[in-house]
Structure 1
Amino acid sequence: MKHLPSRHLIHTSLITFAALSVTACQQAEQPQHHSIKEAQTGSVATVDIANPSPFNREDEAIYLSYYDLGVAPNTTLAVNIGDNQVANQAIDKDLDGKNDGILFVTDLSKGENIHAEIISTTRLAPSKKRVQADLAHKVGGEWVPHTRPPKHQQNAGMKEYVGGLFKNVQSITPPEYYTDHSNWIRYEGPGIESDKVGYRIYLDWRNGFDIFGKLTPEPVLHNVGLDGYKSYHSLQDWGMDLLKVGGSLGAGGFAYTNEKGKLEHVSKVDTRTASITANGDLFAQIQLDYHGWQNSVQQQDLSAFISMQAGSPLAEVTLKLDKPLDNITAGLVKHPDTTFLKADLQSMSNYGYGYIASWGKQSLDGKALGMVVFFKKGDVKTVRQDDKNYLVELTPKGQQGSQQVHYYFASLWQAQSGINTVEQFEHYIKQQAQKLTIKPRIQLKTSLTQNAMQASISAESALKWTQAFADSELARKTLGYHYNGWDVNRKRSPKFEYDIIGIQPYAYYTLGELTDNAEYKQVIEKVPGSFISEDGLISAYKQSNFNIDNIPPGRNLITLYQQTNEQKYLKAIHALREQLHKHPRTSTGAFWHKKKYQGQVWLDGVYMGMPFLAEYAALFESGHQQQETFAEVVNEFNLTREFLKDTQTGLYYHGWDELKQQAWANKSTGLSHEVWARGMGWLAMAVVDVLDYIPEQNSQQRKHLLTMVQEIADSLEKTQDPATGTWWQVMDKPNAIGNYRESSATAMFTYFYAKAINKGYLSTDYLATAYKAYQGLLNEFTLLHQDGTVSMTNQCYVAGLGFGRDGSYDYYMSEPVVANDPKGNAAYILAGTEMVKLLRQKSK
């Protein structure tokens, strides 16, 4: 068969597997009756869901995309937990106007792991409506001059509506003469509610957010305000309006903070439109479009998406900006005699959720009311107050023309929540912040993927999966990391660093050498090569930072220079070597991780610097200078072994602080607290890669490294999960709450074993361990999608030390778990290439 370019590919055999799986579901026995059980037509997936928290999580929302499930969009799916069918709803998670997956809610006890089955079906069991979006305006009356127009609009020709009855609508754009108290829109704007609380948004110049306290879980907004404004300001059977908003942002509204520090509401607009975009039983959403918003910077459009889900008082807010702004500010009304609460942002990572909150007798019924805004630490510019609001300024993220801001707000009314003290309220919001930060652990296995898996691995199947994944990432985003491109993971312009410019292009080139595929090989020219100017300068790189994470792309530049003999690459290579000449070190000679991390050696730093340094010495140095560099490389491993290794387990800690001053460091040893799997993975890959360049005659140096290979192999074997062949995020705590089996480390360890056996560093006694690891990588972390593309799941996005990252077990649990991140992608491809070589040797 003619070889297809990989951008068109994703291997024909995998597409065939996908088609067979879908056909099997379609041809399953059809139901003869209308019972739910008999209406089921085929298993789509199984999902294990674990509560990562040491407390109960009631009505935890679980989202599964059609893409990951391996089914067509809007396939009718049932969710079975035990003998019960759990209600689910199709939703639009990415806000592109199309449903992209299903959401369901389930209770999770402390540390509980539940098993669910996803079934394609022709009929769903009835479910109870627990959320509602509501929007209505009057018809049958007439507009007349406003009897009491707002003072700031006395001469604006404002009108009010007299007579008529309310009619529910899906969308509304008020006329230009509409203002507050115009008696046209029921309770003055769109409303949204869960079974816990309701909110309304003033669809006028105020743009404030108000609260409807609820005393009943049933939807009520459609009956609120039918007789005008007054009734909901006093206690009703269903509840009441709780908040005096005035000129503030209310309960989680948004505005812009100008260069003078003044708040600019979204007041001056050409038009404002409210629409209901979701109104199911579990999930509801409203969309607010502000066209022609005039702020002090520019005139622009802004869209707000506000959603709620069953069982939660939280409203999720996503704001989309068509032009860049330096901030969007979210806030809470500042009432007298309220207690202001805020998270300790210094003690968390950038991906952790912090909060601002207020507590006190600020409800219109005189009872206590707590309000809170949740946000990611990494989005925060500043937390501040003005005369009317408690505020947090957030930085919009994304490319120009599509920047976004994301946060949540919530309120807890004493009469409904049962929370009576500020201490109880603070306890609640801290738990909610943890729930937003640490998502339930999801282990998904789909029928589509499992049907495509072979009972036993072979060189052919390993190559097939490796190429299919590599092709998928080429199609998704790999080539977009070029200079002036976009880093979709970090939502910023790409920098010259270890993953997107370093290890991932390196992995593609390695696969290209195995397959003689030019498209794979060209990644190093299209991505790392794009950062090198004609005069050899490296873009998005600053040597004076002395960041060892900047060194790995140098291996790709060496390859480019060997291929092209272009001097610009050689100049850039020498610049990276010069960084290592000047790089700060510990008293014994180990490289600091970064200049700003004084005295700190991180386990991943060995991989970042030493393979490049060893290859550079082998190719560009000779004699005494070369031998000094090889000694320097081996010394780095020896020092890492001396200072970071646990002598009892053979495992290595993430970091070591020679100065013993960091908050994460043991004051006696300087070591960090935990054994992070990917840290071990970087070390394992580094030692087998460096051995490629240390000459055979340097027998003593090689002996040091080979001893490490043997030790690492033995320690990894002891911590390999016996059931799946994979490894855990915190390696020596497999049964701890929140811990999960992590894919990038599993791929790195697979690469380590396969390459070490291929090179003769390990005996064939470790074959079974290598095979089990690779099988686990496929079975547990590989997803085949309906379009034939492949994904890698359950990757720890990032982990580090310092700057809010305290190195505790809880910290490693708090970092996001993602799919298809370059760090894991590269390891997956490298593991596959080495396994292909290993399996080919076995078959000879």
Structure 2
Amino acid sequence: MSATLGDKSGVKEIIGKVIEGMKNLEVTIQEDTKDSIISMDVWDWSQGVGLFSLYLYYKETGEKDIFQYLTEWFDRKIEEGLPQKNVNTMCPLLTLSYLYEETKNPDYLRICEEWAAYAADEMPRTPEFGITHTAVDSPNEGELWDDTLYMTVLFMARMGVVLGRDRYVQESIRQFLVHLKYLTDTRTGLFYHGWTFQENHNFAGAFWGRGNAWYTAGLVDYLDMFEVPEGIRDFLTSSLERQVSKLAELQAPSGMWHTLLDDPTSYEETSATAGFAYGILKAVRKGYIGKQYLSCGLRAMQAVVERIDERGVVHGVSYGTRMGRTKQFYKEIPQCPMPYGQSMTLLMLVESLNHFERS
């Protein structure tokens, strides 16, 4: 399936299919988690990324059925009871914070306040006060992961704005800075998947595609949340442009990126490519990076669209990825449709509408 990049109506048709594909994802592999990260009927990070893209699409279009889907999803999960607090289970709260502003539902606010306070004051920390990437199956003591910025730090910043608590906003800034300090490769501008303070290294030294995309896609939305101080904003966007400059060098002839960005023997991976496309297209539009990267983002968009089937399901997405001790570990992660693959694709497609000539 493919779309013409100059045809808005064609892209809008694909958007509708991708949304339906997300809502109806089927578990097609043997998962290695207690609760599914494929099915949308679970409260976890994977689903949280999907929910946020649906909310942004609702804000773009005003489609009430999307809003209804979101409120019904949260109401059902709240009634069932929320999971244990950790970095990954924080992710759905970002969407809930926006839904609170729309609905003024006091239950939404109560939950967001409670979880934001936990993130700011109780969540385990590494040296230099970075958020430890605690997960349901491991405390990951002393470890920084690039995933944390998207899964928890965006929500923390958002609640600082909602509650008028500058302390939360400032803490979000510190988290971006400490993560960039330990995860940035100074030779390339790319980001390592993680850092361990206990062993003082970057694990496999892997430039994992989706991990890098969490920064590319997350930063452009983070900068929309509040008036980031000029010096901090310039630091974050210069880090973004350096990353994108290297990504442009590493983009495959197909328009995709590999799951290990600098290893062409690793498979081409769709969620990272979609996340990069979204971040690049929006960053160009907002003036965060140079216009010369627009063609890179559009090529990536076309490559992703070609991986969407007739039911709106996005293929070539790597399953949830723990921290790898070898680069081979990343090459062996299975591929299957995932909520974040649908989500990053949806964000990319909606953003792309801003880059077509007005019809």
- TM-score, scaled relative to structure 2: 0.90
* 2:312 aligns with one of 768, 790, 815: 790
For 2:330, the equivalent position in structure 1 comes to 812
- Preserved contact between residue 509 and residue 524 of structure 1 (Cα < 8 Å): yes
For 1:539, the equivalent position in structure 2 comes to 81
- Preserved contact between residue 506 and residue 524 of structure 1 (Cα < 8 Å): no
Equivalent runs, 1:87-486 vs 2, <5 Å: 449=1, 453-454=3-4, 456-475=5-24
- Preserved contact between residue 192 and residue 208 of structure 2 (Cα < 8 Å): yes
Using the TM superposition, give the Cα deviation of residue 793 of structure 1 relative to its aligned residue in structure 2, in angstroms.
0.7
- Counterpart CA distance in 2 for 1:676 and 1:810 is 11
Structure 1 pair 671–639 and aligned structure 2 pair: CA distance change class (3 A): farther
- Preserved contact between residue 602 and residue 656 of structure 1 (Cα < 8 Å): yes
- Sequence identity (%): 22
Using the TM superposition, give the Cα deviation of residue 471 of structure 1 relative to its aligned residue in structure 2, in angstroms.
2.5
For 2:235, the equivalent position in structure 1 comes to 704
For 2:278, the equivalent position in structure 1 comes to 751
- Counterpart CA distance in 1 for 2:8 and 2:289 is 20
Structure 1 pair 783–688 and aligned structure 2 pair: CA distance change class (3 A): same
What SS does structure 2 have at the residue aligned with 1:775?
helix
Using the TM superposition, give the Cα deviation of residue 514 of structure 1 relative to its aligned residue in structure 2, in angstroms.
2.1
- Counterpart CA distance in 2 for 1:460 and 1:583 is 45
Amino acid at match of 1:826: S
- Preserved contact between residue 495 and residue 540 of structure 1 (Cα < 8 Å): no
For 1:713, the equivalent position in structure 2 comes to 244
1:599 aligns with 2:135: no
Equivalent runs, 1:759-838 vs 2, <5 Å: 759-779=286-306, 781-784=307-310, 789-801=311-323, 806-819=324-337, 821-838=338-355
1:731 aligns with 2:227: no
For 1:654, the equivalent position in structure 2 comes to 193
**Which is higher, the Rg of structure 1 or of structure 2?**
1
For 1:641, the equivalent position in structure 2 comes to 180
- Counterpart CA distance in 2 for 1:677 and 1:621 is 35
Structure 1 pair 671–634 and aligned structure 2 pair: CA distance change class (3 A): farther
For 1:843, the equivalent position in structure 2 comes to 358
- Counterpart CA distance in 2 for 1:822 and 1:798 is 11
Amino acid at match of 2:146: L
For 1:508, the equivalent position in structure 2 comes to 54
* 2:126 aligns with one of 569, 586, 590: 586
Using the TM superposition, give the Cα deviation of residue 464 of structure 1 relative to its aligned residue in structure 2, in angstroms.
2.0
What SS does structure 2 have at the residue aligned with 1:527?
helix
What SS does structure 2 have at the residue aligned with 1:601?
strand
Equivalent runs, 1:48-67 vs 2, <5 Å: none
Q: State the Cα deviation string for residues 271-316 of structure 1 (Å, max 9, x = none).
A: xxxxxxxxxxxxxxxxxxxxxxxxxxxxxxxxxxxxxxxxxxxxxx
For 1:499, the equivalent position in structure 2 comes to 46
- Counterpart CA distance in 1 for 2:91 and 2:327 is 28
Structure 1 pair 732–476 and aligned structure 2 pair: CA distance change class (3 A): closer
Using the TM superposition, give the Cα deviation of residue 477 of structure 1 relative to its aligned residue in structure 2, in angstroms.
6.2
- Counterpart CA distance in 1 for 2:59 and 2:9 is 16
**Higher RCO, 1 vs 2 (CA within 8 Å, ≥6 residues apart):** 2
- Preserved contact between residue 281 and residue 351 of structure 2 (Cα < 8 Å): yes
Structure 1 pair 473–606 and aligned structure 2 pair: CA distance change class (3 A): closer
What SS does structure 1 have at the residue aligned with 2:309?
strand
- Counterpart CA distance in 2 for 1:653 and 1:808 is 13
For 1:612, the equivalent position in structure 2 comes to 155
Equivalent runs, 1:661-700 vs 2, <5 Å: 669-695=201-227, 698-700=229-231
Q: State the Cα deviation string for residues 406-438 of structure 1 (Å, max 9, x = none).
A: xxxxxxxxxxxxxxxxxxxxxxxxxxxxxxxxx
* 1:522 aligns with one of 37, 44, 68: 68
Structure 1 pair 761–670 and aligned structure 2 pair: CA distance change class (3 A): closer
- Preserved contact between residue 159 and residue 168 of structure 2 (Cα < 8 Å): no
Structure 1 pair 584–727 and aligned structure 2 pair: CA distance change class (3 A): same
Q: State the Cα deviation string for residues 743-789 of structure 1 (Å, max 9, x = none).
A: 0001100110112122221232221111111111112x1222xxxx2
Q: State the Cα deviation string for residues 717-762 of structure 1 (Å, max 9, x = none).
A: 12111x111100111011x2xx111000011001101121222212
- Counterpart CA distance in 1 for 2:77 and 2:267 is 37
Structure 1 pair 540–813 and aligned structure 2 pair: CA distance change class (3 A): same
Using the TM superposition, give the Cα deviation of residue 475 of structure 1 relative to its aligned residue in structure 2, in angstroms.
4.7
User: Which of the two has greater strand per residue?
Assistant: 1
- Counterpart CA distance in 1 for 2:245 and 2:111 is 39
Amino acid at match of 2:7: S
- Preserved contact between residue 21 and residue 342 of structure 2 (Cα < 8 Å): no
For 1:562, the equivalent position in structure 2 comes to 101
Using the TM superposition, give the Cα deviation of residue 457 of structure 1 relative to its aligned residue in structure 2, in angstroms.
3.7
- Preserved contact between residue 157 and residue 169 of structure 2 (Cα < 8 Å): yes
- Counterpart CA distance in 2 for 1:715 and 1:618 is 33
Q: State the Cα deviation string for residues 336-393 of structure 1 (Å, max 9, x = none).
A: xxxxxxxxxxxxxxxxxxxxxxxxxxxxxxxxxxxxxxxxxxxxxxxxxxxxxxxxxx
What SS does structure 2 have at the residue aligned with 1:549?
coil
Amino acid at match of 2:112: I
- Counterpart CA distance in 1 for 2:326 and 2:52 is 32
- Counterpart CA distance in 1 for 2:325 and 2:174 is 26
Amino acid at match of 1:815: I
Coordinate RMSD, CA, aligned: 2.2
Structure 2, unaligned stretches of length 5 or more? 28-34
- Counterpart CA distance in 2 for 1:584 and 1:686 is 22
Using the TM superposition, give the Cα deviation of residue 605 of structure 1 relative to its aligned residue in structure 2, in angstroms.
0.9
Amino acid at match of 1:725: G
Structure 1 pair 475–652 and aligned structure 2 pair: CA distance change class (3 A): closer
Amino acid at match of 1:617: G
Amino acid at match of 2:246: S
Amino acid at match of 2:316: N
What SS does structure 2 have at the residue aligned with 1:583?
coil
Structure 1 pair 728–574 and aligned structure 2 pair: CA distance change class (3 A): same
What SS does structure 1 have at the residue aligned with 2:127?
coil
- Counterpart CA distance in 1 for 2:283 and 2:261 is 21
Using the TM superposition, give the Cα deviation of residue 704 of structure 1 relative to its aligned residue in structure 2, in angstroms.
2.1
For 2:31, the equivalent position in structure 1 comes to none
- Counterpart CA distance in 2 for 1:746 and 1:657 is 27
Using the TM superposition, give the Cα deviation of residue 488 of structure 1 relative to its aligned residue in structure 2, in angstroms.
8.0
- Preserved contact between residue 654 and residue 675 of structure 1 (Cα < 8 Å): yes
For 2:32, the equivalent position in structure 1 comes to none
Q: State the Cα deviation string for residues 659-718 of structure 1 (Å, max 9, x = none).
A: 11xxxxxxx53443311101111121221121112315x222222222222222212212
Using the TM superposition, give the Cα deviation of residue 494 of structure 1 relative to its aligned residue in structure 2, in angstroms.
5.0
- TM-score, scaled relative to structure 1: 0.40
Using the TM superposition, give the Cα deviation of residue 593 of structure 1 relative to its aligned residue in structure 2, in angstroms.
0.3
- Preserved contact between residue 278 and residue 348 of structure 2 (Cα < 8 Å): yes
Using the TM superposition, give the Cα deviation of residue 495 of structure 1 relative to its aligned residue in structure 2, in angstroms.
4.3
What SS does structure 1 have at the residue aligned with 2:188?
coil
What SS does structure 1 have at the residue aligned with 2:144?
strand
What SS does structure 1 have at the residue aligned with 2:313?
strand
For 1:88, the equivalent position in structure 2 comes to none
- Preserved contact between residue 744 and residue 828 of structure 1 (Cα < 8 Å): yes
